[in-house]
Every structure is written in structure tokens, then in C-alpha cells.
């Protein structure tokens, strides 16, 4: 999606490494991405490829041992290296987070209303009474039925889906510009997931919130994202508007991922899934190679000796880091559509 | 010629853990060589059904027959000769493989448990082709599980499950803990092995795209009971139970153009508890079509082909309203 206005969030060349006993591990290696106002960007990638570390580094949520370089600008304000007091103001008010397991982020001994209310009392200096009334509104906004009663309930009295709705209500309490949702539906059943995705989309439509949603589920991406960022071993390997990415994946990993997923209407009796051979690499450990080279059917010497740059392919809004990007061979999804 | 008994016959299976009614009257048959997927929300009792079948737990009531033999209440010792007939693969390969055992010992363990005494040489000779069958090199036998990737570990559990040449394999979420790029190879492997060896399979999962890929038949579970069963083709084309319809409509497809035109049926997410299931139809607290009778009367199973659906609104000919298109007010008028 090309938007004329400057992005709300602009990440440039972000790298994160952690010192460990066996040396420094590089978790994120030169990630750049933009989030426009009211845009939903989906981030996909395998376990350990650096999605959560990227997300946490945006508002300085990583442990103190993390070494973060590069730039994260929120409406022009630099957040990398900002003071903790400044970051605390940003968190909650301007950038809010929701995570996979809502129970661990909720306080079990406080009512739902008190927890949402506290956010409002601290950040918006609301009175306790006003905060409670606003909490009821927020719970209604995120689709909790009989919010006026639920507001006095405790987290353990709620189902997983309801708790995630409470987390979202808390996250949007102060009207943040950016909502970072790290696997918000992974622990939920599909019937409940559909409701949560609906709430996120609705918030974007009504409040204009920009959303960065992290998932490993291509169905969730197809459902909710305007634009997609594909990560592999600590790097962004492809970025494109959602339709373009699914119809014309350019990076060989993206293409492999799309054809590895079972498609509706296909059965093992007549069809084989395309496998991606080899192991998932743990980290970006090869500065002078494509990190996918070990598993890529098209890899050659060049791929093993030089890292491909992230470049525009077929338009500036579609970028991929691949020496031999896929041409427009149809993907399994396209085949299924025929 | 006497007909061969089915690989699995479960009748009126009940499994209560104290007050928790995990499984509450499930009947299910899997003919030899067929794959039945068991789908449903987490906590609906899918794994418990699997654990009753392999007798990790002893059912509260009902019967489990494997290849015609009633194994429901057999003692450990009397169960032994039947152990080889059914195997299980669990969701989390890291947790289900003993970290102190070599892969070779792990794969051979079912032989030891079946009471067979075999020499090391024999064991290695039996293990090597199993590993090869699941796409692992024979050297892997001398490694420990933590030295393998998640996908490789799941291959090891599949090799272990198949060494006794079972008639029935229970696969409990075999791909859920794996990376997407690795899931395809495990699904392909299960499909290949199933076709070549011909075992029957109870494939427990919540991944509907994997169900469509692998299953011949589908059983849909809700809060301890089956609400619908049928062939893959019929269930995907014409789901009859409102829960099945909602489930299929809610699972997003990995294709943005198609997904944009789909409308998920949004159910409330107040899931009832297995401690105190709703009266009448257990789905009624979330069913968009629920009406008075649903609270007072347990819906009977209406036969549809070889399967069934348990809903008051399904007509004797197997047709009924579809929550994906129906306006609730019209259905009931
Ligand atoms: N505090 C830390 N110290 C050392 N290494 C870390 C730390 N936090 C994360 N890492 C490493 O950084 C890499 C990226 O981790 P991250 O949590 O971002 O993965 P992810 O893409 O979110 O994976 P998942 O899909 O499993 O959530 C991993 O190799 C992880 O082990
Ligand atoms: N050993 C046990 N003790 C008590 N409750 C259990 C036990 N095993 C399962 N349950 C309960 O039984 C229900 C069904 O569980 P399970 O079969 O694991 O569901 P599924 O596999 O469909 O997610 C759940 O409410 C679960 O908490
Ligand atoms: S750069 Fe080479 S190895 Fe990397 S994805 Fe492209 S073709 Fe494959
Ligand atoms: S019996 Fe009633 S509540 Fe149950 S599925 Fe049918 S219509 Fe819905
Ligand atoms: Mg993560
Ligand atoms: Mg389970």
C-alpha cells in the first residue's frame, strides 16, 4: 500500500544481538520496515527468526543485555537509545502490545475494570470513576457482551478469547498510534480467533490504529494484513502488498512456504505437498551469503558468497532479497483459484 | 469369507476425570486402512479419546475394540499381546522422547515393551529400515533427541510408532509444534506411509487444511461428544451441523483474494466448561440458531450417508439450515 503521508513507524537497519556464554548471537540483522497510519502489516516467519525480538525492540522492551543498533522512529521521534522515562511514556500511550498468552499479562487478583482503569488513571490522569466508565466502553468496543457486569469480574472467570479481548481493550485504552500484536490468536481456537481478528480490523477502521501483527499462520496473514513482511533467520527477505505477495512471491523461501501449505480442495490421494528440504537455521550467522542458501533449490555459488540486497522487484512496494527471484510462475494458491 | 473386523470400534465411550466430563458418550468406527480426522476445539476431549484407545487411561464406561478385540478393561499383562496393534504419536516430539535414550533405543522401545527379547545386532537391524522409511539416515540411531531438529524428532516418533507394524496409528496433533516449512514433509510422510503400509489412522488435529489433505473421514467433537461425522468430501461440501459450519467458515484460507469474500460466522467466545456442560444441546450457548427445544432436549443423531449430525434442525433427509447463510429469525419461523 503506497501512502502519501509519512509512515507512523519507520524502522531502519535495526539489528539486535545478545551476548551469551558461547559468544554473541545476532537475533535481528538489518531489518527495515514502515507502518503507515491505519495500516495492518503482517509479519511471518519460522520460530526463532527474530519476529518477537524485532517487535520488542520497537518500544525498548528487550532485556538490558540486548545490543540494539539502527533506528526506530515514531512520528519522527527516535526511540533507539531514548531514555527509559521517555520510553515509558511511549509505551501504552503511543505504542501498545498484546501477546500470545493473555493470562500471564493480566493481574489475577485485580478485577478487569481495575486493570483497565489503572492504565487510564496513570496515563490519562482520569478519576477512578471516569476510568471505570471508560473501561466499560472499551470492553464494549472489543465485543465483550454485558460489559457493565464483566467489568467487575476477574481474569480467571473469563475464557481465553475473552481475556485476549480484555488485553486489547487495555492496549487501546489510551488510543495508541501503533498496536503490536505478537501471535495474538496462536493459543486460541479458530472460532475464537475469527472474533479477535475481527476486533483488530474494527479498531483500525474506527480508530485508525496502525497494527503490526506477528503470526506464523498464512491464513491469518491472508485474512487481515494489508502488507506482509517475511522474515527468515533474522532478516527481512521479502515485503509486499498482501495480494501481490501471495500471487507473485519473489523470494524462494516465500514461494516455498506458500506451496508447502495444503490448499483447499487438495488431497494426499492426488497431490503431494512441496517440501522445503533441510533445517530451519537458528540465526543470521552468514554475513556473506543468502541465509536460505542451504535449503534453496535455486542456490548457486553467488548465493553462498554474497548476501542479496533487499531490492524493488516489479515496483517499489514489492521488495525481495534474492539473487534469482521467482518469475511469475503460478503458486499453488493461484492454481486452486482456476 | 468372514468380514475382517474394523481397525477401531469405539462404542459409547465415557471418560470422566473426577467431575470433568472429558469424553461423554463417543461412538466411532475406523475401517482398516482409512484415515479419520478428529477435529474440535482445545479441551473438547480429542486427546482423551486417543489416550483411551491406546489405554494410557482406562475408560470410565463404553468399549474400545481394536481389530475386533475388546481392550477396554484388559490388565497391563493381558494388554501386552495387543500393544503392537495400535501406536500413538504425540504433538510435542521434544517432550515425548526420553532425552537420555539414544534414538536407536527409542525407536526399538515398543519391541522391548511387547516383551520381545532381542540382541543389539537384531535391534539395530530392525531400527535402520524404520529410520530410512521416515527419511532419516541410519547414523541418527546413535544420536540423542536434543541433537535433532523438531521435524527430525517427529520423524523419530513416527518411526517408533510404526516399528510394531500397527494396524492403527493415533496421531495426536503431529504437526502442531513444527515450523510451517517442516509441516509439509511430515504430512507427506504420513500420507506416503499410510498408503504404503495401509494402517488405519485416527488423526487428531485442529488444522483444517491438514484434515482436508490427509483424511478420508471426519469426526467433529464438541465438549466431549461427537456432533457430526461423515466423509471428507461431504463434510467440506455440505457440513450439516451448525458448529461444523461455523468451524469451517472461521478457519482462514491462505489466499487473500478468496479470504476477503468469506464471512466467518462469529460465535460468542464464552466456551462452556466440561465440568458443567449445558443441558440439551451442548452447543446451544454459542449456536446462532439455538431455540427453546435446544435447552431441554438432547438432539438425536440424524443419519447422513455413512455419518450423522446431532442437531434438532437437521431434517431426516440430512438437509438443514446453514449458519453461514441463514438469518436466524427466518430459520425458526
Ligand atoms: N534474551 C535473549 N538472549 C539470547 N538470545 C535471545 C534472547 N531473546 C531471543 N533470543 C534469540 O533471538 C532469536 C529470535 O528470537 P525471537 O523470539 O524474536 O523469535 P520469533 O521469530 O519470535 O520466534 P517464535 O515464532 O518462536 O516466537 C532466537 O534465536 C532466540 O533464541
Ligand atoms: N488427567 C486429567 N485430569 C483431569 N482433567 C483432564 C485430564 N485429561 C484431560 N482432562 C480434561 O478433559 C477435557 C478434554 O481434554 P483433552 O482430551 O486433552 O482435549 P483436546 O485434546 O480436545 O484438547 C479438558 O477439559 C481437560 O482439561
Ligand atoms: S539468493 Fe539464491 S539461495 Fe537465496 S533465495 Fe535467492 S536463489 Fe535461493
Ligand atoms: S440443536 Fe439447537 S443449539 Fe444445537 S446445534 Fe442444533 S440448533 Fe444449534
Ligand atoms: Mg515470538
Ligand atoms: Mg489435545
CA of A136 to the centre of ligand 3 (A): 52
Output the CA B45–ligand 6 centroid distance in Å.
Answer: 7
User: Where do the H-state alpha helices sit in A151-233?
Assistant: 160-171, 190-207, 218-224
pLDDT at A43: 98
pLDDT at residue A270 greater than cutoff 90: no
Q: 3-state class of B108 per DSSP?
A: helix
Q: Tens digits of per-residue pLDDT, A295-321?
A: 999 999 999 999 999 999 877 799 999
Would you tell me which residues 40-99 of chain A have a C-beta closer than 8 angstroms to some C-beta of chain B? Answer: 46-47
Residues from chain A that touch B37, judged by Cβ atoms under 8 A, are none
CATH number of the domain that residue A38 is part of: 3.40.50.300
Give the pLDDT confidence score for residue A1 in this predicted structure: 46
CB B327 within 8 A of CB B258: no
Residue A333: band (very low, low, confident or very high) from pLDDT cuts 50, 70, 90: very low
Query: Read out DSSP for B27-52?
Result: EEEE-TT-EEEEEE-TTSSHHHHHHH
Tell whether the model's pLDDT for residue A252 goes beyond 90. Answer: yes
Q: How do residues A65-113 score in pLDDT, each as one tens digit?
A: 999 999 999 999 999 999 999 999 999 889 999 988 776 788 999 999 9
Alpha-carbon distance A199 to nearest alpha carbon in chain B (angstroms) = 11
Question: Percent of chain B, pLDDT > 70?
Answer: 97
- Each residue's pLDDT tens digit, A108-125: 999 999 999 998 998 888
Residue B218 and residue B211 in contact, taking contact as beta carbons nearer than 8 Å: yes
Point out the ligand nearest to the CA of residue B42: 2
Is A3 part of a structural domain of the chain?
no
For residue A167, which phi and psi values (nearest 5 degrees)? -60, -40
State how far the Cα of B118 lies from the Cα of A89, in Å rounded to an integer.
68
pLDDT in tens, B207-232: 899 999 999 999 999 999 999 999 99
Query: Does the pLDDT value for residue B9 go beyond 50?
Result: yes
Residue A295 is assigned to a structural domain of this protein:
yes
From residue B72, alpha-carbon distances to B36, B90, B203 in Å are 20, 21, 20
Share of chain B above pLDDT 90, in %: 69
Query: Minimal Cα distance from A192: which residue of B?
Result: B269
* CATH fold of the domain at B8-85+164-257: Rossmann fold (3.40.50)
- Is residue A2 assigned to a domain? no
Q: Is B237 on the interface with A (CB under 8 A)?
A: no
Average pLDDT over residues A11-27: 90
Instruction: Tell me the average pLDDT across A260-277.
Output: 87
Average of per-residue pLDDT values in chain B? 91
**Predicted model pTM:** 0.89
Q: Nearest residue of A to residue B34 by CA position?
A: A269
Q: Is B33 on the interface with A (CB under 8 A)?
A: no
**Predicted confidence (pLDDT) at residue A285 exceeds the cutoff of 80:** no
Assess contact for B167 and B199: CB atoms under 8 A.
yes
Whether A1 maps to a domain, the answer reads no
Nearest CA in chain A to B249: A191
Q: What is the mean pLDDT of residues B302-306?
A: 95
Q: What pLDDT shows up at residue A116?
A: 93
% pLDDT > 90, chain A: 66
Q: How far apart are CA A166 and CA B241, in angstroms?
A: 31
pLDDT for A282: 60
**Mean pLDDT score of chain A, rounded to an integer?**
89
pLDDT exceeds cutoff 80 at A332: no
Write out pLDDT tens, residues B84-129: 899 999 988 878 899 999 999 999 999 888 777 888 888 889 999 9
Number of domains in chain A: 1
pLDDT band at A338 (very low <50, low <70, confident <90, very high): very low
Residue A266 CA to residue B187 CA, distance in Å, equals 13
* Residues of chain A positioned with their CB less than 8 A from the CB of B269: 159-162, 165, 191-192, 195
- Predicted confidence (pLDDT) at residue B148 exceeds the cutoff of 90: no
Residue A232 and residue A30 in contact, taking contact as beta carbons nearer than 8 Å: no
Residue A225 has pLDDT above 60, yes or no: yes
The grid cell for A331 is: 503458486
Contact of A208 with A125, CB cutoff 8 Å: no
Three-state secondary-structure class, residue B186? helix
Residues A159-182 have a mean pLDDT of 92
Nearest CA to ligand 4 atom 1: B311
Chain A touched by B191 (CB under 8 Å) = yes
Half-sphere exposure of B212 (CA within 13 A, CB side): 17
Segment B261-271 shows an average pLDDT of 84
Beta strand B307-310 with B20-30 is: unpaired
Question: What one-character-per-residue DSSP string does A110-166 give?
Answer: S-HHHHHHHHHHHHH---HHHHHHHHHHHHHHTT-TTHHHHTTS-GGGS-HHHHHHH
Considering only the beta carbons, identify the residue of B181, B183, B253 that sits closest to A256: B181
Query: What span, in angstroms and rounded, lies between the C-alpha atoms of A117 and A114?
Result: 5
Nearest to A17 by CA among A183, A229, A234: A234
Q: How many residues does chain B have?
A: 333
B332 versus B125: which is more confidently predicted?
A: B125
Overall average pLDDT of the B166-189 stretch: 90
Answer whether residue A2 shows pLDDT above 50: no
| B35-78 confidence digits (pLDDT tens) | 999 999 888 999 999 999 999 999 999 999 999 999 999 988 88
pLDDT attached to residue B333: 42
What's the CA gap between A266 and A306, in Å, rounded?
38
Range of the domain at A51: 9-337
Interface check B246 vs A, CB under 8 A? yes
pLDDT attached to residue A188: 85
B41 touches chain A (CB under 8 A): yes
What ipTM was estimated for this complex?
Answer: 0.85
What is the CB < 6 Å shell around ligand 3?
Answer: A 251-252, 290, 292-293, 296, 298-299, 303, 308, 322-324
Give the three cell numbers for residue B27.
461412538
Residue nearest to atom 26 of ligand 2 (CA): B43
Q: Taking 90 as the threshold, does the pLDDT of residue A189 lie above it?
A: no
Burial string for B4-17 (b: 16+ CB within 10 Å, else e) reads: eebbbbbbebbbbe
Amino acid at each position: 500500500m503506497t501512502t502519501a503521508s509519512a509512515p507512523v513507524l519507520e524502522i531502519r537497519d535495526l539489528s539486535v544481538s545478545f551476548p551469551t556464554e558461547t559468544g554473541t548471537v545476532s537475533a535481528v540483522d538489518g531489518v527495515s520496515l514502515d507502518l503507515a497510519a491505519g495500516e495492518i502489516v503482517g509479519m511471518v516467519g519460522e520460530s526463532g527468526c527474530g519476529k518477537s525480538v524485532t517487535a520488542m525492540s520497537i518500544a525498548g522492551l528487550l532485556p538490558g543485555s540486548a545490543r540494539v543498533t539502527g533506528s526506530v522512529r515514531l512520528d519522527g521521534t527516535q526511540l533507539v537509545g531514548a531514555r527509559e522515562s521517555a520510553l515509558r511514556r511511549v509505551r501504552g500511550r503511543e505504542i501498545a502490545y498484546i501477546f500470545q498468552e493473555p493470562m500471564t499479562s493480566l493481574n489475577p487478583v485485580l478485577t478487569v475494570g481495575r486493570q483497565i482503569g489503572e492504565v487510564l488513571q496513570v496515563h490519562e490522569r482520569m478519576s477512578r470513576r471516569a476510568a471505570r466508565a471508560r473501561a466499560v466502553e472499551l470492553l464494549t468496543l472489543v465485543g465483550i457482551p454485558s460489559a457493565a457486569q464483566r467489568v467487575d469480574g476477574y481474569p480467571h472467570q473469563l475464557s481465553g478469547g475473552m481475556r485476549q479481548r480484555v488485553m486489547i481493550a487495555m492496549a487501546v485504552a489510551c488510543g495508541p498510534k501503533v498496536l503490536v500484536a505478537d501471535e495474538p490468536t496462536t493459543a486460541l481456537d479458530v472460532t475464537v480467533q475469527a472474533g479477535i481478528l475481527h476486533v483488530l480490523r474494527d479498531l483500525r477502521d474506527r480508530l485508525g490504529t496502525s497494527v503490526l501483527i506477528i503470526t506464523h499462520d498464512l491464513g491469518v496473514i491472508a485474512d487481515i494484513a494489508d502488507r506482509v513482511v517475511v522474515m527468515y533467520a533474522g532478516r527481512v527477505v521479502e515485503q509486499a502488498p498482501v495480494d501481490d505477495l501471495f500471487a507473485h512471491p519473489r523470494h524462494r523461501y516465500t514461494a516455498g512456504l506458500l506451496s508447502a501449505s495444503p490448499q483447499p480442495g487438495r488431497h494426499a490421494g492426488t497431490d503431494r505437498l512441496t517440501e522445503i528440504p533441510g533445517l530451519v537455521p537458528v540465526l543470521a550467522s552468514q554475513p556473506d551469503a543468502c541465509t536460505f542458501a542451504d535449503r534453496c533449490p535455486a542456490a548457486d555459488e553467488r548465493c553462498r558468497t554474497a548476501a542479496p540486497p533487499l531490492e524493488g522487484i516489479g515496483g517499489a512496494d514489492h521488495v525481495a532479497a534474492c539473487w534469482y527471484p521467482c518469475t511469475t510462475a503460478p503458486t499453488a494458491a493461484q492454481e486452486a483459484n482456476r | 469369507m468372514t468380514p475382517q473386523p474394523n481397525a477401531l470400534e469405539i462404542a459409547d465411550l465415557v471418560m470422566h476425570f473426577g467431575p470433568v466430563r472429558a469424553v461423554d458418550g463417543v461412538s466411532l468406527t475406523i475401517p482398516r486402512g482409512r484415515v479419520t480426522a478428529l477435529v474440535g476445539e482445545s479441551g473438547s476431549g480429542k486427546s482423551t479419546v486417543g489416550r483411551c484407545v491406546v489405554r494410557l487411561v482406562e475408560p470410565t464406561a463404553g468399549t474400545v475394540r481394536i481389530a475386533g478385540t475388546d481392550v477396554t478393561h484388559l490388565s497391563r499383562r493381558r494388554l501386552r499381546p495387543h500393544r503392537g496393534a495400535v501406536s500413538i504419536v504425540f504433538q510435542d516430539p521434544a517432550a515425548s522422547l526420553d532425552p537420555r535414550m539414544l534414538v536407536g533405543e527409542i525407536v526399538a522401545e515398543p519391541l522391548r515393551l511387547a516383551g520381545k527379547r532381542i540382541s543389539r545386532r537384531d535391534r539395530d537391524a530392525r531400527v535402520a529400515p524404520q529410520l530410512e522409511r521416515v527419511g532419516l539416515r541410519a547414523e541418527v540411531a546413535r544420536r540423542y533427541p536434543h541433537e535433532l531438529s523438531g521435524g527430525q524428532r517427529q520423524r523419530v516418533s513416527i518411526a517408533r510408532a510404526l516399528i510394531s507394524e500397527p494396524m492403527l496409528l493415533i496421531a495426536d496433533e503431529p504437526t502442531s509444534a513444527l515450523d510451517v516449512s517442516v509441516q509439509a514433509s511430515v504430512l507427506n510422510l504420513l500420507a506416503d506411509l499410510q498408503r504404503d503400509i495401509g494402517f488405519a489412522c485416527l488423526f487428531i488435529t485442529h488444522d483444517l487444511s491438514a484434515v482436508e489433505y490427509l483424511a478420508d473421514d471426519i469426526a467433529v467433537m464438541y465438549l466431549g461428544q461427537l456432533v457430526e461425522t461423515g466423509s471428507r468430501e461431504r463434510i467440506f461440501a455440505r457440513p450439516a451441523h451448525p458448529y461444523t459450519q461455523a468451524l469451517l467458515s472461521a478457519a482462514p484460507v491462505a489466499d487473500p483474494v478468496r479470504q476477503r469474500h468469506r464471512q466467518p460466522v462469529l460465535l460468542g467466545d464464552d466456551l462452556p466448561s466440561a465440568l458443567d456442560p449445558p443441558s440439551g444441546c451442548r452447543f446451544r450457548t454459542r449456536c446462532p440458531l439455538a431455540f427453546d427445544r435446544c435447552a431441554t432436549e438432547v438432539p438425536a443423531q440424524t443419519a447422513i450417508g455413512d455419518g450423522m449430525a446431532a442437531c434438532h434442525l437437521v431434517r431426516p433427509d440430512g438437509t438443514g439450515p446453514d449458519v453461514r447463510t441463514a438469518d436466524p429469525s427466518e430459520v425458526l419461523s
